[in-house]
Chain A
Amino acid sequence: MGFWDWLLGRTEDSRSVAKDRLKVVLVHDRAGISPQLMRQMQDEIIEVVSRYIDVVPGEIQLSMSQEHEQNILIANIPIQRQGAAKGSDRRT
């Protein structure tokens, strides 16, 4: 980050922001999966997983990215520490 960026309080340059946004949108375009569909899929995944494990509600993240020409779907599902009551919305 340059001096001016620091002075103006800019964190990331506009070129990198553009490139990151582009990559995300292209992964979705290429796989034919819209953000709405992702949300729907996320809800269903939570439903299935929480039948077996206590997950931390509100901290589940489903995302897509690209690695070596391969599109991948990443599900980040934090689980409750053992002993925590099922359905509680705080980590203990």
Chain B
Amino acid sequence: MSGQVITITSGKGGVGKTTTTANLGTALAMLDQRVAVLDADIGLRNLDLVLGLENRIVYDVVDVVEGRARLAQALVRDKRFPELHLLPAAQTRDKSAVNPRQMAQICEALRPRYDFILVDSPAGIEQGFHNAISGADRVIVVTTPELSAVRDADRIIGLLEAADKQQPSLIVNRIKPSMVKRQEMLSVEDVLDVLAIPLLGVIPDDEQIIIATNDGTPVATDSKYLSGRAYQNIARRLLGEEVPLLDLRERGFFERIFGFGR
């Protein structure tokens, strides 16, 4: 059995690619999958921080490409999840230190040893993006329900088509159900309507994600939180399960007290 390479990308920066990669990697590892997460954001390394692995890095992807380390040496193991490994980005180099062919080779080398290889793409449409998608079997586009993020996602979808990639699927991140209810934010349906690609999942805007990132324990480890459950559900969908979308509506005061409304 050989693993699947999935790239997480967005066009616009800061919409949640790294958070998504870390949480899906963690959620898949919790489902007993062997997972490698690969930070393709060379020069702006962050995936290690979100996963709480920043102090355990010895080598990075550029060391592997330039022959200073073997791939297996560079992979950082996560003590909490023995099946989750991280290939860190270099922090002191830039995107041109790796080319798309080399990135695809790394993905190929990881494929036999893992069930999932998740690639965290940098923002933008330049070389870093092309590096990140070069080895991908499938691509996940992350967007937020904001004009500029959706516009950039549309651009990325066009570029993926031009690169002959399979049609990507969509994660809508940072939905605020109360704002949507007040007609103050694009809804998931609005975003799907214009982007016209299949929906993989919806993540609510959740302060807990920031708290989880503060101590390097992805929120997906905790089903107590709506966002944690949302990531766990997406992981199960990646395994082929049919999981209905979560109801993200916050319960109002009376609903919580008296338990009605749902």
Contacts and interface: CB of A to CB of B under 8 A. Distances in A.
Interface stretch (B24-32, B184-192, B232-240): B184-192
A26 B194 contact: yes
Contacts of A14: 183-185
B151 A22 contact: yes
Given A26-B151, A26-B194, A18 B186 contact: yes
A15 interface: yes
24 contacts: A13-B184, A14-B183, A14-B185, A15-B180, A15-B183, A15-B184, A15-B185, A15-B186, A16-B183, A18-B147, A18-B190, A19-B190, A19-B193, A19-B194, A22-B147, A22-B150, A22-B190, A23-B194, A25-B151, A26-B151, A29-B151, A29-B154, A30-B158, A69-B196
B111 interface: no
Nearest to B151: A25
Contacts of B184: 13-15
Interface residues of A, number: 14
A16 to B, nearest CB: 7
Counting from the closest, the 4 A-B pairs by CB-CB distance are A13-B183, A15-B183, A14-B184, A19-B190
A26 B153 CA distance: 10
Interface residues of B, number: 16
A90 interface: no
A1 B105 CA distance: 56
A19 B151 CA distance: 11
A21 interface: yes
Contacts of A16: 183
Interface in A1-27: 13-16, 18-19, 21-23, 25-26
Residues of B contacting A: mostly: helix
Contacts of B196: 69
A22 B186 contact: yes
Nearest to B150: A22
A67 to B, nearest CB: 13
Given A15-B184, A18-B147, 9 more contacts: A14-B184, A15-B186, A19-B194, A21-B147, A22-B151, A22-B194, A29-B154, A29-B155, A30-B154
Nearest to B152: A29
Interface centre among B147, B150, B183, B196 (most CB of A within 10 A): B183
A9 B6 CA distance: 48
Interface string A63-74: 000000100000
Interface in B136-189: 147, 150-151, 154-155, 158, 180, 183-187
Nearest to A12: B183
Given A26-B194, A69-B196, A19 B154 contact: no
Interface string A16-47: 10110111011001100000000000000000
Nearest to B196: A69
Nearest to B154: A26
